[in-house]
A and B are shown apart, each in its own frame.
Chain A
Amino acid sequence: MIAFIGRRLLHTIVVLVIVSFIAFSVLHLLPGDPALTMLGIEATPEQIEALREELGLNKPLVIQYVHWFVNMLQGDLGRSIFYRESVAQIIAARLPATFFLGMLALIFSVLLSIPAGVISAVRRGGFLDSLTSLIANVGVAVPVFWLGILGIYLFGLHLGWLPVYGYTSPFDDFWLSIKKAVMPVLCLSVLPLAVWTRQTRSSMLEVIREDYIRTARSKGLKERTVITRHALKNAIIPVITLLGLQVRNLVGGSVLVETVFNIPGMGRLLVNSVLGKDFPVVQGCILVIALVVALANLVVDISYGYFNPRTRNE
């Protein structure tokens, strides 16, 4: 088991090093002088030279990368061109909002999608099954930013039930924080909900056909026990492996949702930095996002190996 964890850890580290290379090259893919692009045409030659010096653009690429990489390992992601602050601090200030909404969305979609998937598999072809599959189809196809706007129109402007934008920390004002979080969390949950419901349904349908389910039924267990204790326990494994993908979807969704609802999180920081060509911040965001996704995948892999020893020696 320890060798297995070691291998997965090494794999994660290799992936993150490659990600750092991708993030690094984003700046250097820029056609022309990165310093000029970032500062705009009004910049004086002195300002451009100062930025070139700060970013180390005068040195060879390999040296620049090594320098940047070593700094990154020490938690130094450079300085923002726009905010004139350390990138690590800017991201740390934006992370809580994204994390809070993302966690709520994750919990909400697990709590709803697994029962929905189980019910539609057990009642295959019934009304609830058709309804679930309709919702799952809609969930994969709907543009979340549009869904958010529809929600703002209906629940915010028309009915006046919910605040239409912004974010409040749950530690400042819990009730207001929840009220503001309802719509963003629902929008974020749509895609994970659809993906997980589909996966739970198809994996339940497969397990229900197995011999041990027939055995459980024929020894006289109650149907509820057969489904929850015997079927779901086995069907849930492929559902859990999707966690990494779901975290990826949530982060991707937060870019759009935070823009619609004007939430000061990492998603909106990334968009604003991309629009403002603040590349140190863009690089920092990519690294942090990839780190979160890679860690989620690592946790999934290790728990998978723990519960299913056959997969340890791939």
Chain B
Amino acid sequence: MKMTTATVRHIEHMELPPRISEFRRFLRVFLSRKVVIFGSIIILALLLIAIFAPLIAPHNPTQQNLWETLQESSGKHLFGTDHLGRDVLSRIIYGSRISLAVGIVSVGIAGCFGMFLGLLAGYFGGIVDTVIMRCIDALLAIPPLVLALAIGAALGGGLGSVMISLGIALLPTYARLIRGQVLSVKQTDYIMAARVVGCSDLRIIMMHVFPNCLPPIIVLVTLNLGFAILAEAGLSFLGLGIAPPAAAWGAMVNDGYKYLLTNPILSFAPGLCIFLVVLAFNLVGDGLRDALDPRLRGTI
């Protein structure tokens, strides 16, 4: 049909909504809720504190001072001192490094191995799928904290062992999520088309299947960072995990527990930090989910 000058003019004058990019749409939804902004600020603060810990901390976190044990909050020691005279505020500041490191590495391990297994199971199906998924089901039958306890005990404590054991404990969710995504993506026409034009399995997985699974993974990773930090705190509270002189928040809660009657802040302060950080990751995770894909609501 030949387009007349009149219709062209008509189109030009139509009231079109201003064009916005996908990224700006994402930001608009993401930042529309106050709690999400609150969470983002806490995460940003955590990152800055962890990176610049030596500059921020007023004292050496492992320096004992037996003349100043169990002091109350004062100008010199904002959160007081613990039973060995160490400054609690400085220990909390350094503790953020352990929480963050364990969170990032264990979620990294869980994500890489879990996604790999999920991709294999979902893409190849059949016996590969059955074997992988039954093992995942078995891991899911054991509570993550219990699994991490057992593996951590077998590996023999320490930072690396906590990271690996939490990584294994968190892995099943990734495998399941990715498998489900792969199964639904596999049915689509563009995967069929890719196969028709002769793409290899590896190319189809890496170039077509994987990118389509990314939004839910980003959300899961954020939520899992919170969970991993909470679980690490639980493990170090139980006395499994990071070796004593280093400051881990969970262990600090346990150390302070003995002095609850006289110095409750020893337990309260590190516990509050764990709570705020985990809350922040959860709030941001929920915000990301709503901004990336509202359909995911309720599935993650």
Contact = CB atoms under 8 A, between A and B. Distances in A.
B192 interface: no
Interface stretch (B136-144, B197-205, B211-219): B136-144
Interface in A231-279: 248-249, 251-252, 255-256, 259-260, 270-271, 274-275, 277, 279
A132 interface: no
Interface string A1-42: 000000000010011101101110011011100000000000
A241 to B, nearest CB: 12
B210 interface: no
A182 interface: no
B298 A203 contact: yes
Interface string B123-142: 00000000000110111111
B267 interface: yes
A19 B278 CA distance: 30
B233 interface: yes
Interface stretch (B7-15, B19-27, B256-264): B256-264
A151 B253 CA distance: 14
B144 A143 contact: no
B122 interface: no
Interface stretch (A63-71, A75-83, A91-99, A282-290): A282-290
Interface in B276-293: 278-279, 282-283
Main secondary structure of the interface of B (DSSP, over half): helix
Interface of B: 35, 134-135, 137-146, 149-156, 226, 230, 233-234, 237-240, 250, 253-254, 257, 260-261, 264, 267-268, 271-272, 274-275, 278-279, 282-283, 297-298
Interface of A: 11, 14-16, 18-19, 21-23, 26-27, 29-31, 137-138, 140-146, 149-150, 152-153, 157, 199, 202-203, 206, 248-249, 251-252, 255-256, 259-260, 270-271, 274-275, 277, 279, 282, 285-286, 289-290, 293-294, 297
- Chain A to chain B: the 9 pairs with minimum beta-carbon distance, closest first: A146-B271, A252-B143, A18-B138, A141-B279, A29-B154, A141-B278, A274-B153, A252-B145, A290-B141
Given A252-B144, A290-B141, 19 more contacts: A18-B134, A18-B137, A22-B139, A27-B154, A141-B230, A141-B278, A142-B275, A143-B271, A145-B234, A145-B253, A146-B268, A146-B274, A157-B260, A202-B297, A252-B146, A275-B239, A289-B146, A293-B143, A294-B141
